[in-house]
């Protein structure tokens, strides 16, 4: 037996018991009656008491019944629990999924709430190990909440109140769910004795109790024995309409024209028609009705895929803006009903071309949508004052053609045929007759660029540092590489275009175009404004002792101080939405944090989880209380006793 609220019961007892006794002595207000003499009455009372000893008992039986009834009530107040589970105590790890899909409201209040509720019941049902329990030793449990990473809410303990408080403290998130880290953490903790180190050895395997909808991304990487994991499935429905992709882009030719693409997915079994709304800076610009086909069910549950439809909007907007695409309709999961994008103002680049003369390159660059192209000789470039260059920063991109400059102001560089000094790249020798063997097709710089036929008669060997990104490779050396050094970005080409057949390829112009666009995107200090949930917001180049204020989507504010290097990082992007960052003396910067995860938006709860080691089926039943709460029975007993007391009192008066 354990007591949930012993102090409440004791406090009530301290007040109620003396009160009842007092009432018992005070309660009988006898009517006064004058008689000639009490002589005979006293004798009668004596006779009554002497001849009928039961009478005395009957008088006191009322007090006895009242005391019993009150005792029952006081015990009920103290919340006794009868622990019926036998055996030695075990160790449990309670894993609670708090990813985006757990925010679905198909169960009340939502899946996370239900998971917490069931986890609480589980925790309350643990064996306490007290004298009145059937268990020999107490159960220990720890609580881990996880989405894309795991958070230990409470280390191993047998204190149920602490465990319950830890469960209550779990807040919702919009992240993706990954169990691997949680399992690793749980196993690590299970190796060491908990905070209440007892005689138990560390060999006892801790049982993992998972409360989740089963939509976990990294199931196939987890190795646990099937009997180590108990999976409690939370959730009922699969109906959800989500925005799974969203992208806004300015038109090449007309920068004020904005194209917005969005992809909607329907995870339900029925096709749905939904209105999709586009807003910019809070103003609704367009609403479009789309019909999304139903989920396609394959032969197996794994093979089913959601019905998808793409929507695109175009609008005219020159200037910065926060785009919002929202599907207007109620479904179980709200956080994937909208997606946000940050629209940068149209910007045209100023480009400095440092070359002895390269008409091919110059004409290719001129065909790019740039504002200004200033050709310059290498001697002229070296003669520029680097300090002035750093302050004014007149060019967005500097293209170096076969030139190794004496100084490198902070800027974006596209270098052909020579390697700038001081960026940890060596070029010891020259190669001849090189063919490209591999290149990264998906990199923005090489998008739509076909390098199959590229041949370089001469090329420099590039010995790159580890953090460099290789975009294309010759047989013996990297051909194209991306490197960030000293606040500058370098796009390096190991060969001179005039020593290759590239100018004759259409891919060269495309490459120039992509490179300009890519380097232009690096203008804002390489800052990424469109983030996934849990990506940190990073703000570089802040003056010292500046504090930035981050406003979350729910309007709460956090102040972030930058590190000595001038970089402020805000990692708390756990909810989807638009985050506003206020930097003193600057305009407000907006960051869009989106879920945009087709797997997480699929909220259909899984019947079984296929781990890499085993398949764990969901528990058939909800978590039941293994302990008997005794207070309802005690309350009933108190009621019955009160009724009996009433009957006895009436009998006594009427006889």
Partner 1 sequence: MPATRPTMRKLTELLDPKFMARLDSLDVLSRKILQGKLQGERRSKRRGQSVEFADHRRYVVGDDLRFVDWNVYGRLDQLFLKLFLEEQDLTIHILADTSASMGLGEPAKALFMKKLTAALGYVSLVNNNRLTVSLFGDGIRTQLAHMRGRNYLSKMAELLLTTDCDGFSDFEKACRDAAAGRIGSGITIVVSDFLFKQGYETALRRLVSSRYDLYMVQVLSPQELEPQLGGDLRLLDIEDGDAAEITVSSALLKYYKRNLAAYCSELNDFCTRRGAVYVRTNSADSVESLVLNYLRRVRLVR
Contact, 578 vs 343, CB < 8 A? no
Query: 53-77 and 631-654 helices cross at what angle (nearest 10)?
Result: 150
Q: Does residue 26 bind partner 1 (CB under 8 A)?
A: no
Give least dist CB 37 to partner 1, A: 4
Query: What is the rounded CA–CA span in Å between residue 76 and residue 65?
Result: 16
Give least dist CB 640 to partner 1, A: 25
Give least dist CB 6 to partner 1, A: 39
Q: Does residue 201 bind partner 1 (CB under 8 A)?
A: no
Among 35, 199, 544, 555, indicate the residue that binds partner 1 (CB under 8 A).
35
Give the residue with the Cβ less far from partner 1, 580 or 648.
648
* Phi, psi dihedrals of residue 46, rounded to the nearest 5°: -60, -45
Segment 535-554, which members bind partner 1 (CB under 8 A)? none
Give least dist CB 67 to partner 1, A: 20
Binding window for partner 1 (CB under 8 A); candidates: 22-30, 389-397, 565-573, 599-607: 22-30
* HSE, side-chain direction, 13 A CA sphere, residue 391: 4
Place of tokens 């013996």: 476
Binding window for partner 1 (CB under 8 A); candidates: 40-48, 231-239, 368-376, 600-608: 40-48
Q: Does residue 33 bind partner 1 (CB under 8 A)?
A: yes
Give least dist CB 48 to partner 1, A: 5
Among 7, 25, 26, 37, indicate the residue that binds partner 1 (CB under 8 A).
37
Give least dist CB 43 to partner 1, A: 5
Q: Which residues pair with 247 in a beta bridge?
A: 261
- H/E/C letters for each residue in 258-310? EEEEEEEEECCCCCEEEEEEEEECCEEEEEEEEEECCCECCCCHHHCECEEEE
Q: Of 514, 517, 523, whose CA–CA distance to 480 is shortest?
A: 514
Give least dist CB 68 to partner 1, A: 22
- Quick one: tokens of 213? 């909808």
- H/E/C letters for each residue in 160-196? HHHHHHHHHCCCCCCCCCCCHHHHHHHHHHHHCCCCC
Give the residue with the Cβ less far from partner 1, 24 or 261.
24
Binding window for partner 1 (CB under 8 A); candidates: 23-31, 148-156, 574-582, 626-634: 23-31
Q: Does residue 391 bind partner 1 (CB under 8 A)?
A: no
R_g of the chain computed on alpha carbons: 38
Query: What is the rounded CA–CA span in Å between residue 142 and residue 189?
Result: 9
Give least dist CB 52 to partner 1, A: 6
Binding window for partner 1 (CB under 8 A); candidates: 34-42, 143-151, 322-330, 331-339: 34-42
Q: Does residue 36 bind partner 1 (CB under 8 A)?
A: yes
Query: What is the rounded CA–CA span in Å between residue 233 and residue 618?
Result: 6
Q: Does residue 131 bind partner 1 (CB under 8 A)?
A: no
Give the residue with the Cβ less far from partner 1, 43 or 161.
43
Q: Of 95, 220, 215, whose CA–CA distance to 151 is shortest?
A: 95
Among 7, 131, 303, 655, indicate the residue that binds partner 1 (CB under 8 A).
655
* HSE, side-chain direction, 13 A CA sphere, residue 98: 26
Q: Is residue 101 classed as helix, strand or coil in its secondary structure?
A: helix
Q: Does residue 30 bind partner 1 (CB under 8 A)?
A: yes
Q: Does residue 653 bind partner 1 (CB under 8 A)?
A: yes
Strands (E), 505-654: 530-532, 537-539, 548-551, 557-560, 568-570, 577-582, 589-594, 608-610, 615-617, 627-629
Q: Does residue 555 bind partner 1 (CB under 8 A)?
A: no
Q: Does residue 652 bind partner 1 (CB under 8 A)?
A: yes
Cα dist. 205→6, 154, 209, 542 in Å? 33, 18, 13, 50
Give the residue with the Cβ less far from partner 1, 544 or 653.
653
- Quick one: tokens of 27? 């309660």
Q: Of 155, 320, 311, whose CA–CA distance to 245 is shortest?
A: 311
Among 14, 18, 41, 388, indicate the residue that binds partner 1 (CB under 8 A).
41
Q: Does residue 223 bind partner 1 (CB under 8 A)?
A: no
Give the residue with the Cβ less far from partner 1, 30 or 442.
30
Q: Is residue 217 classed as helix, strand or coil in its secondary structure?
A: coil
Give the residue with the Cβ less far from partner 1, 40 or 406.
40
Binding window for partner 1 (CB under 8 A); candidates: 26-34, 70-78, 411-419, 554-562: 26-34
Give least dist CB 57 to partner 1, A: 14
How many Å separate Cα 436 from the centre of its chain?
A: 42
Query: What is the rounded CA–CA span in Å between residue 38 and residue 123?
Result: 67
Binding window for partner 1 (CB under 8 A); candidates: 36-44, 337-345, 557-565, 566-574: 36-44
Give the residue with the Cβ less far from partner 1, 30 or 466.
30
Give least dist CB 647 to partner 1, A: 16
Give the residue with the Cβ less far from partner 1, 131 or 653.
653
Q: How many residues bind partner 1 (CB under 8 A)?
A: 27
Query: What is the rounded CA–CA span in Å between residue 242 and residue 38?
Result: 92
Give the residue with the Cβ less far from partner 1, 32 or 554.
32
Give least dist CB 22 to partner 1, A: 18
Query: What is the rounded CA–CA span in Å between residue 603 and residue 598?
Result: 10
Segment 42-71, which members bind partner 1 (CB under 8 A)? 42-45, 47-48, 51-52, 55, 59
- Quick one: tokens of 602? 């699929």
Q: Does residue 34 bind partner 1 (CB under 8 A)?
A: yes
Query: What is the rounded CA–CA span in Å between residue 650 and residue 241?
Result: 68
Give least dist CB 641 to partner 1, A: 22
Q: Does residue 161 bind partner 1 (CB under 8 A)?
A: no
Among 26, 39, 544, 555, indicate the residue that binds partner 1 (CB under 8 A).
39
Q: Is residue 523 classed as helix, strand or coil in its secondary structure?
A: coil
Binding window for partner 1 (CB under 8 A); candidates: 38-46, 61-69, 431-439, 508-516: 38-46
How many Å separate Cα 100 from the centre of its chain?
A: 7
Give the residue with the Cβ less far from partner 1, 47 or 608.
47
Give least dist CB 134 to partner 1, A: 48
DSSP 306-350: -EEEEEEEEEE--S-EEEEEEEES--S--TTSEEEEEEPPP--EE
| Residues of this chain that bind partner 1 (CB under 8 A) | 28-45, 47-48, 51-52, 55, 59, 652-653, 655
């Amino acid at each position: 037996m354990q007591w949930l609220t012993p102090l409440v019961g004791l406090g009530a007892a301290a007040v109620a018991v003396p009160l009842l006794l007092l009432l018992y002595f005070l309660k009988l207000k006898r009517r006064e009656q004058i008689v000639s003499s009490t002589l005979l009455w006293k004798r009668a009372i004596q006779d009554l008491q002497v001849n009928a000893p039961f009478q005395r008992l009957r008088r006191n039986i009322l007090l006895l019944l009242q005391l019993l009834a009150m005792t029952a009530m006081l015990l009920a107040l103290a919340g006794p629990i009868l622990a019926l589970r036998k055996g030695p105590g075990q160790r449990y790890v309670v894993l609670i999924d708090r990813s985006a899909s757990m925010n679905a409201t198909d169960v009340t209040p939502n899946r996370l709430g239900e998971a917490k509720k069931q986890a609480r019941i589980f925790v309350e049902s643990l064996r306490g190990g007290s004298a009145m329990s059937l268990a020999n030793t107490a159960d220990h449990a720890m609580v881990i909440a996880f989405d894309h990473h795991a958070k230990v809410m409470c280390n191993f303990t047998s204190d149920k109140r602490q465990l319950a408080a830890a469960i209550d403290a779990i807040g919702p998130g919009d992240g993706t769910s990954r169990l691997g880290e949680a399992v690793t953490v749980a196993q690590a903790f299970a190796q060491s004795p908990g905070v209440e180190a007892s005689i138990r050895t560390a060999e006892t395997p801790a049982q993992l109790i998972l409360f989740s909808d089963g939509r976990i991304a990294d199931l196939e990487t987890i190795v646990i024995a099937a009997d180590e994991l108990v999976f409690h499935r939370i959730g009922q429905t699969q109906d959800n309409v989500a925005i799974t992709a969203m992208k806004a882009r300015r038109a090449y030719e007309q920068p004020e024209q904005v194209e917005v693409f969005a992809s909607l997915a329907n995870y339900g079994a029925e096709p749905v028609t939904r209105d999709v709304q586009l807003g910019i800076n809070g103003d609704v610009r367009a609403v479009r009705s789309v019909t999304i086909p139903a989920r396609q069910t394959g032969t197996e549950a794994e093979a089913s895929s959601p019905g998808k439809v793409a929507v695109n909007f175009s609008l005219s907007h020159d200037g910065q803006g926060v785009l919002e695409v929202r599907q207007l309709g109620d479904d179980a999961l709200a956080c994937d009903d909208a997606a946000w994008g940050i629209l940068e103002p149209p910007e045209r680049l100023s480009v400095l071309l440092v070359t002895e003369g390269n008409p091919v390159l110059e004409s290719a660059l001129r065909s790019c949508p740039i504002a200004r192209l200033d050709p310059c000789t290498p001697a002229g470039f070296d003669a520029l004052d680097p300090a002035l260059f750093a302050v004014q920063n007149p060019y967005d991109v500097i293209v170096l053609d076969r030139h190794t400059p004496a100084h490198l102001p902070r800027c974006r560089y596209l270098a052909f045929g020579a390697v700038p000094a001081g960026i940890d790249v060596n070029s010891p020798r020259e190669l001849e007759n090189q063919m490209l063997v591999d290149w990264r097709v998906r990199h923005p710089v090489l998008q739509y660029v076909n390098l199959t036929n590229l041949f370089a008669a001469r090329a420099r060997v590039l010995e790159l540092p580890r953090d460099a990104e290789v975009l294309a490779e010759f047989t013996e050396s990297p051909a194209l590489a991306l490197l960030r050094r000293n606040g500058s970005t370098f796009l390096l080409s190991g060969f001179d275009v005039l020593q290759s057949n590239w100018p004759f390829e259409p891919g060269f112009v495309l490459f120039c175009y992509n490179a300009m666009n890519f380097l232009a995107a690096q203008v804002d200090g390489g800052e990424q404004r469109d983030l996934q949930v849990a990506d940190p917001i990073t703000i570089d180049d802040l003056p010292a002792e500046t504090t930035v204020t981050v406003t979350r989507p729910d309007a709460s504010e956090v102040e972030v101080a930058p590190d000595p290097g001038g970089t402020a990082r805000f990692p708390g992007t756990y909810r989807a939405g638009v985050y506003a960052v206020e930097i003193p003396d600057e305009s407000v910067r907006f960051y869009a944090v989106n879920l945009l995860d087709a797997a997480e938006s699929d909220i259909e709860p899984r019947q079984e989880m296929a781990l890499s080691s085993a398949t764990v089926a969901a528990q058939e039943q909800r978590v039941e209380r293994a302990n008997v709460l005794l207070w309802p029975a005690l309350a009933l007993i108190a009621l019955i006793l009160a009724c009996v007391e009433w009957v006895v009192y009436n009998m006594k008066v009427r006889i």
